[in-house]
Structure 1
């Protein structure tokens, strides 16, 4: 079965919690990973260089790699 393609506006959920979170601010800052819980849902707001997705969760916007998020079905 094909993995759903991620695009801007896609709804995603957190599959695994990364060791730390990087905010999606113009000047990114590191935050502790316990801000988010596995299963939290968000929306992709942009694509960043280096294979990062900007994802808006209710707790804020963070830069996430593919390995940590998955599309909602």
Structure 2
């Protein structure tokens, strides 16, 4: 994954599971990776030091490396001339 494609506010999906998840709390904690499934979607909340992104999933907000994330392509509504 190219880091230039990821930016704050975009929707991303989990393309592979990391060995563990690190919470994005003020005092981060390690959690088992089975909290998230491949394909789960979240919103990038912020950029963190060390090459991490703060990503908010429905199960919580986690610090994720770019290699585990893929940008979700949004479908633009098609306009047809009738």
TM-score bracket for the superposition, by shorter chain length:
over 0.9
> Aligned pair count?
72
Q: Which residue does the alignment assign to 1:53?
A: 53
Q: Compute the RMSD of aligned alpha carbons.
A: 1.6
Q: How far is the alpha carbon of 1:5 from its aligned partner?
A: 1.1
Q: Secondary structure at the match of 1:39?
A: coil
Q: Map residues 1-73 of structure 1 onto 2, 5 A cutoff.
A: 5-73=5-73
Q: Structure 1 67/56 Cα, relative in aligned 2: closer, same or farther at 3 Å?
A: same
SS in 1 for 2:67: helix
Query: Is residue 4–residue 71 contact of structure 1 (8 Å, CA) maintained in 2?
Result: no
Q: TM-score, normalised by structure 2?
A: 0.84
**Equivalent pair of 1:43/1:56 in contact (CA under 8 Å):** yes
Please give the TM-score of this superposition, normalised by the length of structure 1: 0.94
Higher strand share goes to which structure?
Answer: 1
Max Rg structure: 2
- Quickly say closer, same or farther: Cα 1:22–1:3, change in 2 above 3 A: closer
Structure 1 unaligned residues grouped into runs of 5+: none
